[in-house]
Amino acid sequence: MNCQRNLPSYGRWQKEFEKESVEIIGIHTPETPSERIPENVERKVKELKITYPVLLDTEAENWKRWGQQWWPTVYLLDAQGRVRYRWLGELEYEGAGGEARMGSFIKRLLAEAK
């Protein structure tokens, strides 16, 4: 559920930056056995109207590679693929303002690339 609370932010970023070189990519690392079944994940992606690609990380390989500890974690990578910023947890938990902060970081990286 925590990850789903970030979905509206991802959708807004996707729309706001659709004409820029910004890609939203989801990585789903299952918490429960049913979340490991690709058909279940595909159904949920459609149900939630997620239009960006979602990688199914059934064996938590990416989770381990990135040293994940929190669901969700948002990573912002630059044009060279380097992690420049990350947000741990829900973007708006207790009014944290994560959507706006990460949005400003996206704009900063886009300005650097020009």
Contact criterion met (CB below 8 Å) for 82 and 89: no
Note the pLDDT tens digit of each residue in 14-66. Answer: 999 999 989 999 999 998 999 999 999 999 999 999 999 999 999 999 999 98
Strand partners, 72: none
Q: What does the domain layout of the chain look like in residue ranges?
A: 3-113
Contact criterion met (CB below 8 Å) for 73 and 45: no
CATH code for the structural domain at 3-113: 3.40.30.10
* Res 1 pLDDT > 80: no
* Res 71 pLDDT > 90: no
Long-range contacts of 18-27 (CB under 8 A, 24+ apart): 20/110, 21/79, 21/110, 21/113, 22/106, 22/110, 23/52, 24/52, 25/52, 25/53, 25/54, 25/55, 26/50, 26/52, 26/53, 26/54, 26/55, 27/54, 27/55, 27/57, 27/62
